């Protein structure tokens, strides 16, 4: 018989990423299925396993959120740099090379808006609503 990964069948059942069933745990440790069922019921292994993996999943999700937040910060910085270079180019250069500068500024703005969850382009419906709102809120002389 090979040596089990964990010194305790309970730890094997709760923590092993392969999520072994109780019969598999019994076989792995050379103990009876009835004994493992009684012990798991008395010690509430199923609930403990659920709580363990819920915590693990929550920690993983939290790390993922932090990773995404770090990525968004880095990308915002890069898009703002692109905008800055494009604006500097527009100020310093002649109109012959303006297309590249305008494209850089546009890319930077769209990237920044995408990261912040804002739309990158105005849709026809959005424009019509905005025009309608402007007409209804316009002050009369």
d(CA 89, CA 44): 68
CA distances from 61 to 15, 45, 58 (A): 18, 24, 5
Task: Identify the band that residue 4 occupies on the pLDDT scale cut at 50, 70 and 90.
Answer: low
Q: Which residue has the higher pLDDT, 46 or 108?
A: 46
Query: Which of 23-27, 103-107, 132-136 has the lowest average pLDDT?
Result: 132-136
Average pLDDT over residues 65-88: 82
Reported confidence tier of residue 61, pLDDT bands at 50, 70, 90? confident
Residue among 28, 27, 50, 26 at smallest CA distance from 39:
26
CA atoms of 88 and 78, how far apart (whole Å)? 15
Q: Tell whether the model's pLDDT for residue 125 goes beyond 80.
A: no
**Read out DSSP for 70-95?**
HHHHHHHHHHHHHHHHHHHHHHHS-G
Q: What is the pLDDT of residue 6?
A: 63
Angle in degrees, 0-180, between the axes of helices 98-115 and 45-92, rounded to the nearest 10: 160
CB 22 within 8 A of CB 46: no
The secondary structure of residue 96, as a DSSP letter, is G
Q: How far apart are CA 81 and CA 87, in angstroms?
A: 10
pLDDT digits 0-9 by tens, 26-55: 998 889 999 999 999 999 999 999 999 888
């Amino acid at each position: 018989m090979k040596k089990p990964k964990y010194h305790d069948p309970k730890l094997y059942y709760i923590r092993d990423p392969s999520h072994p069933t109780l019969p598999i745990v019994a076989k792995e440790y050379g103990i009876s299925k009835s004994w493992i069922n009684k012990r798991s019921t008395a010690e509430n292994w199923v609930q403990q396993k659920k709580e363990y993996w819920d915590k693990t999943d929550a920690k993983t999700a939290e790390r993922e959120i932090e990773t995404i937040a770090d990525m968004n910060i880095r990308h915002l910085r890069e898009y703002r740099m692109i905008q800055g270079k494009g604006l500097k180019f527009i100020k310093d250069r002649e109109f012959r090379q303006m297309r590249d500068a305008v494209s850089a500024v546009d890319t930077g703005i769209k990237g920044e808006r995408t990261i912040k969850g804002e739309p990158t382009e105005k849709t026809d419906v959005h424009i019509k609503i905005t025009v309608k709102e402007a007409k209804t809120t316009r002050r009369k002389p």
